[in-house]
Amino acid sequence: MFISSAFAQAAPAAGGDMQSSLMSMLPLVLMFVVLYFLMIRPQMKKQKEHRAMIDALAKGDEVVTGGGMLGKVTQLGDGYLSVEIASGVEIQMQRSAVVQVLPKGTIK
Structural domain boundaries in the chain? 13-56, 58-102
> Is the distance from CB of 73 to CB of 63 less than 8 angstroms?
yes
Give per-residue pLDDT as tens, 61-76: 999 999 999 999 999 9
Q: How many residues does the chain have?
A: 108
> Is the distance from CB of 71 to CB of 57 less than 8 angstroms?
no
**pTM of the model as a whole:** 0.68
> Is the distance from CB of 63 to CB of 98 less than 8 angstroms?
yes
Distance CA 35, CA 95 (A): 30
Q: What is the mean pLDDT of the segment spanning 6-28?
A: 71
pLDDT band, very low/low/confident/very high, at 23 (cuts 50, 70, 90):
confident
Class of domain 58-102 (CATH, top level): mainly beta
Distance CA 99, CA 49 (A): 11
